[in-house]
Amino acid sequence: MAYMPRKTAFTVVPRKSAAGLGVFTNVAIPKRRFIIEYWGDIVTEDQANRIAGKYLFEIGNGKTINGTTRKNIARYINHSCRPNCEVEVKGNKVFVFSKRAIKPGEELCYNYGREYFTHFIKPHGCRCAKHTSA
């Protein structure tokens, strides 16, 4: 059964962005504040390999969070090479924090890491602000 995430004091909503769906904040978020939890069923490495989806988040020790449920709003946070958020894995949980102060209306994004970038983003071209504003 999926772990139900703790609530956040910040209002974040998924909506259309340059990279598809993204997550935006309606309020200012100070630096180094918890925003949202990435959650879902915890699966083994073998199960994750069979699922082979985009919403798998490796948490170590052969465990992966299967975040495919649409109730997991954090799954809509897009990649950026210049992110305003960062993730922290604590045990079997993944928390998204603000890396810097974030303005109302700004899209939330974090760096997905080299492996994900190489396999899923690079073949189609990165659509983050760093690459689309140049």
Taking only the tens place, the pLDDT of each residue in 32-90 is 999 999 999 999 999 999 998 889 999 999 999 999 999 999 999 998 889 999 999 99
**pLDDT computed for residue 81 by the predictor:** 84
What is the residue type of 112?
Y
Q: How far is CA 134 from CA 88, 127, 130, in A?
A: 30, 11, 7
Residues 6+ apart with CB under 8 A from 62: 44, 45
- Has residue 122 got a pLDDT over 70? no
Q: Which residues pair with 96 in a beta bridge?
A: 36, 87
Give CA–CA dist 106/26, Å, rounded.
8
Q: Give φ, ψ of 90 to 5 degrees.
A: -130, 105
5 has pLDDT over 60: no
Residue 121 has a pLDDT of: 62
Judged by phi (left if over 0) then psi (alpha if -120 to 50, else beta), residue 77 lies in beta
Q: What is the pLDDT of residue 133?
A: 47
Q: List, in order of start, the domains of the chain with CATH numbers.
A: 12-127 (2.170.270.10)
More confident residue, 97 or 3: 97
pTM for the structure as a whole: 0.84
Which residue would you say has higher pLDDT here, 120 or 103? 103
Q: Kindly report, residue by residue over 12-27, the tens digit of the pLDDT.
A: 989 998 878 999 999 9
